Amino acid sequence: MQEYSIVIGQNGRIVIPLDVRRLLSLQEGQRLLLRLENQSVILEKPVDIVQKLQNRFRTIPVSLAAELMQERRQEAAKE
């Protein structure tokens, strides 16, 4: 883990160090998601969040959408 000391500037702005921007392929104007976790500030790229969610749910053996559709069809057939 690397640590950096940064300063909060005018209007609450912070500058992400150049080597961090390069390491994470961050570009000027790119949007990040800021979230608070306990007493920490976490910045994440939206694409990374999507990837985390996909990885988390990749292990589910069935399609939840297909399962829901099957349940709805069964309920409709009963009516």
- pTM over 0.85? The answer is no
Name the average pLDDT for the chain.
89
Q: Worst-scoring range by mean pLDDT, 6-15, 48-57, 64-73?
A: 48-57
Sketch the domain layout of the chain as residue ranges.
10-78
Helix (H, G, I), strand (E, B) or coil at 6: coil
Provide the pLDDT confidence category of residue 78 given band limits of 50, 70 and 90: confident
Check if the beta carbon of residue 33 is closer than 8 Å to that of residue 46. Answer: yes
Tell me the percentage of the chain whose pLDDT exceeds 90. Answer: 56
How confident is the model at residue 18, as a pLDDT? 95
Structure tokens, 7: 């300063």
Whether the per-residue pLDDT at 46 is higher than 90: the answer is no
